[in-house]
Amino acid sequence: MGRRRRRWHRIAIPLGIVTLLLAVTGITQAIDQPDPGSPGFLSPVNADDEGGSRLADRLRAEGVTVERMTSTRQALIEASSEGFTLFVPSPGLVHPLYLPFLAEPAARARVVLVDPPQRVLEGAELPLAATGRRWAANAVEADTDGRPCPLPEVAAAGRAAALLQRYANPSGLGDGTDYCYSGGLVRTERRGSEVVVIGASDPFRNDRIAERGNAALAGGLLGIHDRVVWLDLAGPEPPPPYHRDGELDPWTSAPDDSGSDGDGESEEGDGTPGYDGRQPAPGQGDPQAEPQEQRNPLWDAFPPWFWALLAQLALALLLVVLWRARRLGPPVAEPLPVTVPSAETVLGRGRLYQRARAYGPAAETLRAAALHRLTQSRGLPPDAEPDEVAGAVATRTGRAPAQVHDLLYGPAPETDQELLDLAQALDVLAGPAGSSPADPPRHDRPIEGEAR
């Protein structure tokens, strides 16, 4: 029964190591994946790995005008003419009040949403649902379930890393949606506008755009028109400046506002109800506006690779601690590979006790040796009670039983001198009482300053 209780670590340790490796892998993968809510994510002016400057340069080289907008309201105002592409790399940052207008900015427009969450799909009233998410983006062919992709510009790209989040029509809604890349890219119609939802940001990022057909896929999606309105949000967007009971107020007027930063100039438009391109006058803020969630500045103070390196160093430190720690389980007696003289063994063990200041274990060893000799000389059993042993030894030596009991079973010494005095007293006690004709003469003497 005792062995079974001691074997729990044989199952717990492997399971703990596997759990730790999975946790570290998950944390490292989460840190390595770009955050769509971070500033500069798929920004046309960001040249880092998670930026989209390479895609913007490719579009400009093909004659496509790229207009960077930092406000959804201004982007909808600028995107009021026919024949353009509205690119939204971070739909989760768009305020919910803008979502109904986001999917239908104008006629003959294409809206490209990158990995939108379910709340964005519902807020934009799109007949789509997120059905499954992979661990990482997978490069697959453009067809779906053996059917070719109906989008020519997408089919021409071939194999691309577009499968991370799958989308499908929820039950109860009619079909009419085109699927590509095994559901990772979906196109649907919305009142004259064309909405393309892609579940992975890899084809648009600087660090992945050169792989396989990513560049052709991203260029084909955004380059179908000669104008791209690129919505570049730096964080969660505040609510519209004028709204009443959660609805935009189209009759409110305000001073002019500009949110364009790209190849073209901003122009006011009246194609979108309630978006006249103007901000509230000073002191007329919305009292119902919810405060923005404050992001911990510590996460932005260091790059993502720093946190990944810190996690790996912590794992390495934990492995070193486990390696240097004492092994679990009871000690096991093993035969020595060579024969060591007893004097050297006693001397080495005594020096180890002295270096570790192990007064208690050293005293137990001395008392155990004395008890063994005394019980043998008096014919006492090995498991005799302490009072019985003390009485028998006291009768033989003429000492008081309390004094003998204190020598054989007393408290552990606390200094080198107390240990040396105990060794000498036990030697005197066990010498006359434990000697017999069969015993060889003893010539050992305590080593001064060392435990025997």
Over the stretch 118-136, which tens digit does the pLDDT of each residue have? Answer: 999 988 888 888 888 887 7
The whole model's pTM is what?
A: 0.54
Length of the chain: 452
SS3 content of the chain, % helix, strand, coil (to 5): 40, 15, 45
**Class of residue 345 by CB neighbours under 10 A (exposed 0-12, middle 13-18, buried 19+):** exposed
pLDDT of residue 256: 41
87-103 b/e with 16+ CB inside 10 Å = b?
Answer: bbbbbbbbbebbbebbb
110 - beta bridge partners? 85, 194
Domain 42-272 matching CATH 1.25.40: the answer reads: no
What's the sign of the alpha-carbon dihedral 402, 404, 408, 413?
A: positive
440 - beta bridge partners? none
pLDDT of residue 329: 63
Q: What are phi and psi of 187, to 5 degrees?
A: -120, 135
Dihedral, 275, 279, 283, 287 alpha carbons, nearest 10: 30
Over the stretch 146-175, which tens digit does the pLDDT of each residue have? Answer: 888 989 888 888 899 888 889 988 765 556
Residues of the chain with pLDDT under 70: 1-9, 26-33, 79-80, 171-175, 242-301, 326-331, 336, 432-452
DSSP code, position 307: H
pLDDT of residue 221: 92
* Under 8 Å between Cβ of 136 and 164: yes
pLDDT of residue 275: 39
* Under 8 Å between Cβ of 389 and 380: yes
List the domain boundaries for the chain.
2-31+308-324, 42-272, 344-434
Backbone dihedral region for residue 104 (phi beyond 0: left; psi -120 to 50: alpha; all else: beta): beta
